[in-house]
């Protein structure tokens, strides 16, 4: 499929798809005329990339872990592939994400408390 079709099916603008390619996250085939050609798995791959970016991971981290993500929710990673540096980086990201979750939860609870006070 061409880039416009991938954009339509994933909801990700073509500009971002080109950026993902620049960041070595997507690897489309190239036709003789230079047009990008994506296979069916690219739809899931783009959705994984979006989910990881939405979770707050950087493209650098995503590039390093993406080869081990075969389907959403499925990680196939041999223990020897996870370096101490990568483990520390992922731990740091998990802690940062948890801090964001905690902050969002506090804000949600404050909004609910405000609504209860206003509705009473």
State the Cα–Cα distance between residues 102 and 120, nearest whole angstrom. 27
- Contact between 6 and 17 under an 8 Å Cβ cutoff? The reply is yes
Note if the pTM is more than 0.85. Answer: no
Token pair of 59 as six digits: 């493209």
Each residue's pLDDT tens digit, 31-70? 899 899 999 999 999 999 998 898 888 898 888 888 777 6
Token pair 């190239």 is at which residue? Answer: 30
State the Cα–Cα distance between residues 6 and 1, nearest whole angstrom. 7
């Amino acid at each position: 499929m061409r880039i416009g079709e991938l954009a339509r099916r994933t909801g990700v603008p073509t500009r971002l798809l080109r950026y993902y390619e620049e960041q070595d996250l997507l690897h489309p085939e190239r036709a003789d005329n230079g047009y990008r050609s994506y296979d069916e798995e690219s739809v899931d791959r783009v959705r994984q990339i979006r989910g990881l970016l939405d979770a707050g991971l950087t493209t650098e981290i995503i590039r390093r872990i993406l080869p081990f993500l075969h389907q959403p929710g499925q990680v196939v990673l041999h223990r020897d592939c996870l370096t101490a540096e990568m483990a520390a980086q992922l731990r740091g990201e998990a802690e940062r994400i948890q801090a964001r979750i905690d902050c969002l939860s506090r804000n949600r609870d404050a909004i609910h408390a405000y609504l209860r006070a206003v509705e009473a």
